[in-house]
């Protein structure tokens, strides 16, 4: 029998199996297992706890990869980093992508976090993530000396470039040009459907 039509109590539901024991007195006010699973918030993953943002999806991941490839064409004069933690005003951020002035890599010394603001940060919205927290983060980063912040929304296939005092331009087709860094990328390279 399908579980969606039966009611389970906490003491009778076995999480390790799909079975559930019924007791007539237990079934009165307890929602079905299928109702419980659709209304419960999934537990916060270690990734989310450590980074303070949702776990990336497949779409987020491929968009990040394509952006890194597109931005790599501008090395030098820049160096592109993925998931690099930045500490600004005693707050920690891990942008999806950070761009700094070109720097030599010393493979005998590593830094866990950067304490100087990047020139550019890129945030890719995840499907489960609201846009307002990203905009708040962008506002803070611009106030801390980041020159440009890109908000990428893969499901809309748009990139919005923020700079200065939250001035912004949204691109939905053609090329994206960052006015501060003279970086131009083609949206088709980022959002191409395979």
CATH label of the domain that carries residue 144: 3.90.1570.10
Same domain for 95 and 129, yes or no, is yes
Angle (CA) 11-14-18 rounded to 5° is: 140
Can you say whether the dihedral through the CA atoms of 63, 69, 70, 71 is positive or negative? Answer: positive
Same domain for 2 and 60, yes or no, is no
Report whether pLDDT(4) > 60. Answer: no
Stated length of the chain: 194
Q: Measured between alpha carbons, how far is 73 from 79 in angstroms, rounded to an integer?
A: 10
Same domain for 129 and 169, yes or no, is yes
Q: What is the DSSP letter of 56?
A: P
Q: What average pLDDT score do residues 10-15 get?
A: 36
Same domain for 33 and 129, yes or no, is no
Same domain for 180 and 99, yes or no, is yes
The percentage of residues in the chain with a pLDDT greater than 70, rounded to a whole number, is: 71
User: Which tens digits make up the pLDDT trace of 57-71?
Assistant: 788 999 999 999 999
């Amino acid at each position: 029998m399908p579980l969606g039509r039966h009611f389970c109590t906490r003491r009778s539901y076995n999480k390790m199996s799909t079975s559930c024991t019924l007791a007539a007195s237990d079934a009165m006010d307890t929602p079905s297992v299928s109702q419980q699973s659709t209304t419960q918030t999934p537990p916060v993953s270690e990734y989310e706890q450590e980074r303070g943002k949702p776990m990336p999806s497949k779409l987020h991941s491929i968009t990040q990869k394509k952006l890194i490839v597109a931005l790599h064409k501008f090395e030098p004069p820049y160096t592109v980093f993925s998931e690099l933690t930045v500490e600004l005003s005693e707050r920690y951020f891990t942008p999806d992508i950070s761009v700094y002035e070109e720097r030599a890599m010393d493979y005998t010394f590593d830094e866990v976090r950067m304490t100087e603001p990047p020139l550019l940060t890129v945030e890719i919205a995840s499907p489960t993530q609201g846009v307002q927290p990203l905009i708040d983060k962008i506002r803070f980063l611009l106030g801390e000396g980041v020159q440009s912040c890109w908000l990428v929304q893969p499901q809309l296939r748009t990139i919005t470039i923020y700079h200065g005092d939250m001035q912004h331009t949204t691109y939905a087709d053609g090329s994206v040009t960052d006015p501060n860094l003279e970086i131009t990328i083609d949206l088709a390279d980022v959002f191409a459907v395979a």
